[in-house]
A and B are shown apart, each in its own frame.
Chain A
Amino acid sequence: MLELVEVSKVYRGGKRAVEGVTLRLGAGLVGLLGPNGAGKSSLMRIAATVTRPTGGRVLFDGTDVVADPGALRRVLGYLPQDFGVYPNLTAREFLSYLAAVKGLSARSARARIGELLELVNLTEAAKRPLGAYSGGMLRRVGIAQALLGDPRVIIVDEPTAGLDPQERVRFRNLLSDLAADRVVLLSTHIVSDVESVAGDIAIVARGRLLRRGTPDELLASVAGQVWEVTVPPAEAGAMRARHLVGRTVRTAAGVRVRLLSPGPPAPGAERVAPDLEDAYLAVVTGQDTAEALGKGR
């Protein structure tokens, strides 16, 4: 069990990145959603022991990992949003080095690296220097290193950035599989990344945890409030000014607008089933109407 209790982070200069966030994470995948600059990466770095919080505690199986990060690091797989590699090493050499840093035995490291390279589709390229890899390939190397030590806790920050659609699907399913008996924390600002695999979603904005719940609970919070209406192009701007607009599509008949509104926003508007993006928008803009849904659970 990984617990973040009233965690805060204030950077030098006074910027408050995280404010009083409490998250309790057991086995399973939690999707951390939030807009750019919401404090997701700071929160992920705190959870991964890379950054010390300025307030609150981080506990792993009851051990305070701010004071003793080793307890978590031995069983942690972490993929940061941005990371570098040694460009002259091959993928196999780089992973072998990281396995030694983790203290894995030579034999198990060798076997595991081969299997992980296969898992992330890099066997063919494993002998090439990392400096010659594309961004997506490097991201896959990052995924492989996160799984090196058979981690009990996996923390991945924007892991699908740079991956092609097939790889994104593969990786999401891999995380879903791993989450069967491990703690998996996945941070992203792409709603579809968590929509398909996370049964538990936490939404953060401005450094605070705004909402936590299952996808169904989040959807319920905006049930009956999502509308679609086609308006002349000249009226689309006014519609944006009056309502929270999620999507607009230009069609031959005009502009098809999808928006959130307690009542019909215009004559002819159709009420439609909400999706997670609607719920997410409602939460981050403070327009959701549901009562607290397991907030800070």
Chain B
Amino acid sequence: MRPRVLGALAVADFRERVRRPVYAVILLAAVGLGYLAVPSTGSHWVIVNLGNHRGVYDSAYVAAVTALAGALWLFAGGFYVVRVAIARDGATGVGELLAVTPLRTTEYLFGKFLSNLLVLGSMAGVLVGTALVMQVARGESTGVDPVALLAPFVLFTLPVLAAASGCAVLFETVPLLRGGLGNVVWFFLSMTVMIAGQSPSAPLGGLGMNLFAESVKADMAARHIAVRELSLGLMYLDRPPRTFVWSGLDLTWGFAAERLALAVLAGLLAVVPALWFARFDPARRAGRPAPVPVPDAVPIAVPGPVPQAVVPGHDGASGREGTLDHDEAVAGGGGFEVRAVTAPRPGGAAGRLLAGELRILVRGVSRWWWAGVAALTVVGLLAPTEIATGPLLLATSVWPALIWSRLGTQGHENGVGALLGAYPGVRRRVLAEWAAGVVLTAFTGLVPVLRMALAADGPGTAAWAAGTLFIPSLALALGVLGRTHRLFQALYLPLWYMVVNAVAALDYIGAVRAGGRPAGPDPLAVAGVAAVLLATALAVVTFRHARR
């Protein structure tokens, strides 16, 4: 690999990404994460829970908890930020230009890995800055120790971000994982890594939590503080944690070597796809309609005499009549009878608009997806009611996630907006798109609601109905706001996961039950949120249209 080539590739790609407005949002998110990691003295929320204790906010502690928060959340969320590096080259056509250069495939893939790492690394850089500011702002310790401040980011955060960068390249090169399915797989994979990575037996140091935990435990024990639990995440404590002075990380060469090995493995993960990466050859591209050769020029009947190009509004003296250019002389010219075309008449089109939106939504969906719907239907009909209205309801609430994520994004992602911009009825289109989402949601969730209706479960049915309005409304609003299907995929799956974990306050579909009744929010409240989301989508579209 040639370092100059790698550098040029990575820097160009990095520049392209950071010059997009969304990059500012990404950095703001990093600032927000840094702020969350160092909560105020009276806060009940913590990212690192040390059994109702925390370290005094000095450089070592602030940096360690911020770096761990970065390792945890940037690993899971950062993947979604960087996972379109190769796809963008395909969409812009840059990939084809690169493909015909002497650039080696391994160099290309490693360059993308470095570019991903630069983007995520810049977020880590923002975290370092935020940690410094937060330490000074909290004012518990004003002495800044640069080594203590930087070391956790270098050893905890960056190797984990390298792993996310390598995985992003790998996912982009595997046809099955390239699309929305990859986002879903990553959600579950990252959840697993986030949990397993905190374990003392996590390979290559995991997220770094264990080294931090060992050091903290030793210090707390020396101060006769009982250590009940140590965990990383976002947690609410019954009372604000008490403080102690932590002496800082006890770094070893062995740990540093493990972290280096993790980064190297991540780089290897990115270049392994060179074995099958197609270098943007459309003939080997999967996941899109096959570019079957279509006879382009259907034989055109040689037309009769060329009609004169008489231009109304100009007489023969000033207009140019009957002049032929070379093309016309060759091809023979006109022959169109455009007036023979049936005159269009206005008529009720709401049904066909809905049918069109439904078609746009589900056309191209794999037959395996439909087989899944069929399987859920059969299971739902045969299973006991408590299964059909519990786990099965949850399954039907996630199975169409990739299709819901298309709502509000299809026109933009396919470039159809350029055509539709001059079409009437923009709000009608948005409403039809939303209605298509509701129809799909109702269709996939039909069996659970049938079982609820048969069991005379009115509250469950009402919760289902509210959820059926809520999900497509959320998808549409996020799609319209973000103009990308990834936003819904990244936010909806954690929301669904919370419901799976019986967080009743977030149960939008009525799957969490207490005493046989849905324990979640009032269905009217959920429907109200759905209405607000739909109104938001409409308002954003109208605003954009007005500002065109």
Residues in chain A within 8 A of chain B (CB atoms): 26-29, 45, 48-52, 70, 73-74, 76, 78, 80, 82-89, 93, 96-109, 111-112, 115-116, 119, 121-125, 128-129, 131-134, 136-137, 142, 145, 147-150, 155, 164-170, 172-174, 176-181, 192, 195-200, 214-217
Chain B residues in 8 Å Cβ range of A200 = 311, 313-314
A96 to B357, CA, bound (A): 11
Q: How far is the CA of A83 from the CA of B423 in the complex (A)?
A: 13
Q: Is B254 an interface residue (CB 8 A)?
A: no
What 8 additional pairs, Cβ within 8 angstroms, besides A100-B353, A177-B336? Answer: A87-B414, A99-B349, A103-B347, A103-B424, A107-B347, A108-B344, A121-B298, A216-B320
Residues of B within 8 A of A131 (CB): 288-289, 291
Chain B interface residue bracket vs A: 35 or more
List B contacts of A73 (CB < 8 A).
422-424
Chain B's nearest CB lies how many Å from the CB of A59?
17
Name A79's closest neighbour in chain B (CB-CB). B419
Known contacts A137-B296, A147-B341, A165-B330; decide if A83 and B360 are in contact (CB<8 Å). Answer: no
Chain B residues with CB under 8 A of A142: 419
Chain B at the A interface: mostly helix, strand, loop or mixed?
Answer: loop
User: How far in angstroms is the closest Cβ of chain A from B188?
Assistant: 27
Cα-based distance from A85 to B356 in the complex (angstroms): 13
Query: A116 vs B327: C-alpha distance in the bound complex, in angstroms?
Result: 23
Residues of A within 8 A of B414 (CB): 84-87
Q: Which of B314-343 contact A (CB under 8 A)?
A: 314, 317-320, 323-325, 327-328, 330-336, 338-343
Considering the complex, give the chain A residue whose CB is closest to the CB of B354: A100
28 contacts between A and B (CB under 8 A): A28-B314, A50-B418, A52-B547, A76-B422, A88-B360, A97-B356, A101-B356, A102-B423, A103-B347, A106-B349, A108-B342, A108-B347, A109-B344, A119-B336, A125-B298, A132-B294, A133-B294, A165-B331, A167-B300, A169-B334, A170-B300, A173-B307, A173-B336, A176-B307, A179-B311, A192-B325, A196-B309, A216-B318
Q: Does A214 contact B318, Cβ atoms closer than 8 Å?
A: yes
* B143 interface residue per 8 A CB criterion: no
User: Are A195 and B325 in touch, CB under 8 angstroms?
Assistant: yes
- Which of A101, A104, A128: most chain B Cβ within 10 A? A101
Which residues from B are CB-within-8-Å of A93?
356, 359, 363
Instruction: Report if A85-B364 is in contact (Cβ < 8 Å); known contacts: A96-B352, A101-B425.
Output: no
Give the residue name and chain of the B residue nearest to A74 (CB).
B424
Do B547 and A150 touch across chains, with their CB atoms under 8 A apart?
Answer: no
Tell me whether A145 and B348 are in contact in the complex, defined as CB-CB below 8 angstroms, given that A121-B300, A124-B298, A132-B289 are known contacts.
Answer: no
Chain A residue at minimum C-beta to C-beta distance from B349: A100
Q: Which chain B residues lie closer than 8 Å to A82 at the CB level?
A: 415, 418
